[in-house]
Chain A
Amino acid sequence: MTTVAATPAKVTRPNIVAVGTIVWLSSELMFFAALFAMYFTTRAVQGPKVWLESTGMLNVKFAAINTTVLVLSSVTCQFGVFAAERFQARRSGPLWKFSKWGLREWFALTFLMGAFFIGGQVYEYANLVHEGLSLSSRAYGSVFYITTGFHGLHVTGGLIAFLMVMLRVFKAQKFGHSQATTAIVVSYYWHFVDIVWIALFSAIYLIK
């Protein structure tokens, strides 16, 4: 142990759970890459004229509001992570003072915003099916529902993950490093899903 003096001072090793999450998210990125490739190929094969007939059915304004809520939920999620890094599970003041909020309040708010997004998406699907665009009606319907649907499933999975974090924090005897790690990796996932949606939104609703 003669080299101890030569080694630099305390080094914080990257958390193994976080490293595993990043590796998994990288594979998720390539999963969505396949979906994007499917979307653009179908678009290239069918031509912009056929595409315009279907994209005209989209309600861009409604989707933009929905997107804003999802993007803001990433912000509230990050405030939850800041609370987790302070090891603060619950609020230390009244409910309206959000500067005193803990992990539980921020994640509950994030959950509600995510649920709003999913509710909006279900409403949008219902309208589109009503107008005659279904999964099997035409190629545009297939790629639209498969890409946004898989994203919606990911958001739903994230909502379940938020519930798990809150359940775990509730059951834990004290809020320690392992609870904070769970909250942090769930936030990584949530930010990832959010960024994927921004890309999907720009491809499907803006570029068309």
Chain B
Amino acid sequence: MKAGWRLFAGLSIFYAIVAVIYWLVGGEAVGITAVTLSSALAALIAFYFWFSTKRSGGILPEDNMAGEIADSAGELGFYSPHSWWPLPVALSACAAGLGLLIGWWLTLIAIGALLISIIGFVLEYEKPSALPTH
């Protein structure tokens, strides 16, 4: 990930220089803002890469030239095996958007439905049970 943060830090510096040049040659406001914030975008990712490289405390298996597939084996995170909750979340978000065209009453109902479905989504695997949950 060393290459990762250097790459994005370089991009960030590049955009910053381009933004200054563009300003000096009399560029318009949209371009200056967009290029400056592109620099911030690259800086954000560079900072995150740098931060996680520092935290990982070593070379990741995919960056190791002599690495094997088996080296990166292990727990990656928790993945839901099956869930219906994304469907009500998507439907109520859709209804909320549609409500802007049809009428505010639908948006208000849909925001309520959205909150309920997000709560369901977030808490799905927090049910108390005798079995180990994860």
Task: List chain A positions with a Cβ less than 8 A from chain B.
Answer: 1, 3-4, 6-19, 22, 25-26, 29-30, 32-33, 36-37, 40-41, 43-44, 160, 164, 167-168, 171-173, 176, 178, 182
Contact = CB atoms under 8 A, between A and B. Distances in A.
B44 A173 contact: no
A98 to B, nearest CB: 27
Contacts of B38: 30, 33
A72 to B, nearest CB: 22
Nearest to A169: B126
Contact of B126 (A7, A10, A33, A172): A172
A25 B44 contact: yes
Given A164-B118, A171-B126, A11 B37 contact: no
Chain B interface size, as a band, is 35 or more
A4 B64 CA distance: 12
B83 to A, nearest CB: 15
Contact of B66 (A6, A172, A178): A6
5 contacts: A9-B58, A14-B55, A18-B52, A37-B29, A171-B128
Nearest to A170: B126
Nearest to A164: B122
Interface in B50-70: 52, 55-61, 64, 66-68, 70
Contacts of A19: 48
B102 interface: no
A40 B126 contact: no
Contacts of B67: 3, 7
Contacts of B45: 22, 26
Contacts of B58: 8-11
Contacts, number: 103
Nearest to B78: A178
Among B32, B56, B122, B128, the most chain A Cβ lie within 10 Å of the Cβ of B122
A13 B33 contact: no
B128 A173 contact: yes
A3 B71 contact: yes
A1 B71 CA distance: 9
B59 A3 contact: no
Nearest to A160: B115
Nearest to B40: A29
B82 interface: no
Given A3-B66, A11-B56, A167-B122, 11 more contacts: A1-B70, A7-B71, A16-B77, A29-B40, A33-B37, A33-B38, A36-B37, A41-B30, A160-B118, A167-B119, A178-B134
A9 B59 CA distance: 9
B119 A164 contact: yes
A158 to B, nearest CB: 13
Given A29-B41, A37-B33, A13 B56 contact: yes
Nearest to B115: A160
Contacts of B61: 7, 11
Contact of B77 (A17, A168, A173): A17
B25 interface: no
Interface in B77-130: 77-78, 115, 118-119, 122-123, 125-128
